[in-house]
Amino acid sequence: MGKLMKIFKILENIFLSEHTKKRIEKVILYVALISFFIHLIIIGLSKFDIISLFPNSELLLNPISAIYTPFSFILIYEVYLLIYYLPKSFTIYITKQYEIITLIIIRKLFKDLSMLELTSDWFDIKGDLQFTYDIFASLVLFFLIFHFQKQGNRKTEKKNKIGPMVERFVKRKKIIAIVLVPFFFVLALSTLIQWSSEISFSTEVMPSFETINNLFFDDFFTVLILVDVILLLISFFYTDKFHKIIRNSGFIVSTILIRLSFGVSGIVSTILIIVAVLFGLLIILIHNEYEKNNTL
């Protein structure tokens, strides 16, 4: 048992320490910056016909679309932060899910900006219409996430002293987080290898943009649903309070709605994402009202 605890502490220090977080943040920022300039150079070389690499790709037609690449690496860091905060705060963990899906929409906006057709037929052009949906959705999600964080902080401020049962629950969440860090790293690497194998340099065919935009994150949110279910089941050992069970169950529903948004496109996808975050906000609002009544 002592050896297992020692291994657990070593792995926790490797994957979930503040030092590791800062190192990963620094590396990701450097990689994001370098990738941005590489993307810009490729676009420039393609524009002057120095190279001919996927001439029909939406990501190589305009310098604005180069912002898409560094945002992809920032999203990877957000995935790590989600796992990092899982043992520390359940509400921050859920907030990170909402932030990730919002950043995916923002990332797509940069691609859409480079493809806009500024004409009087704005609402008849599919690309321009999707840009309108996404820019509106990003504002709504930003507003909803702000209030979700506000409600989460309010709950944290009223938290009582941590007891032994809560400590055991946190320890189990740390075990899940320690397993998730290398798992998501392997998942990201295998997804990149699989996507690269689908690229045909001979015919200059690249996977569709929808495939690229959903790359990794459709699998990522599928795994998150399973993690949320595991957390819900483990929580039954530590609480039988109705409002806690409904809160945790509601967050699973919210994550499922986000995952479903990857299977559709257009306004349906946007509506699913907004409904998912709005549902999560309503769940935590009602939960906090229960908490308030229990303290009276």
Instruction: Tell me what pLDDT residue 163 has.
Output: 64
Q: Which of 88, 140, 132 is nearest to 266 (CA)?
A: 132
pLDDT in tens, 260-295: 998 888 889 999 999 999 999 999 999 999 888 876
Instruction: Tell me what pLDDT residue 95 has.
Output: 95
Over residues 76-90, the mean pLDDT reads: 92
User: Which residue is listed with tokens 């049962």?
Assistant: 165
The C-alpha atoms of residue 69 and residue 194 are separated, in whole angstroms, by: 18
pLDDT band at 60 (very low <50, low <70, confident <90, very high): confident
CB neighbours of residue 210 within 10 Å: 12
Q: Is 47 helix (H, G, I), strand (E, B) or coil?
A: helix
Instruction: Tell me what pLDDT residue 181 has.
Output: 92
pLDDT band at 235 (very low <50, low <70, confident <90, very high): confident
Instruction: Tell me what pLDDT residue 155 has.
Output: 55
Instruction: Tell me what pLDDT residue 185 has.
Output: 87
The C-alpha atoms of residue 65 and residue 112 are separated, in whole angstroms, by: 8
Instruction: Tell me what pLDDT residue 144 has.
Output: 97
Consecutive H or E run containing 208: none
Contacts of 60 (CB under 8 A, 6+ apart): 42, 43, 46, 53, 54
Instruction: Tell me what pLDDT residue 258 has.
Output: 95
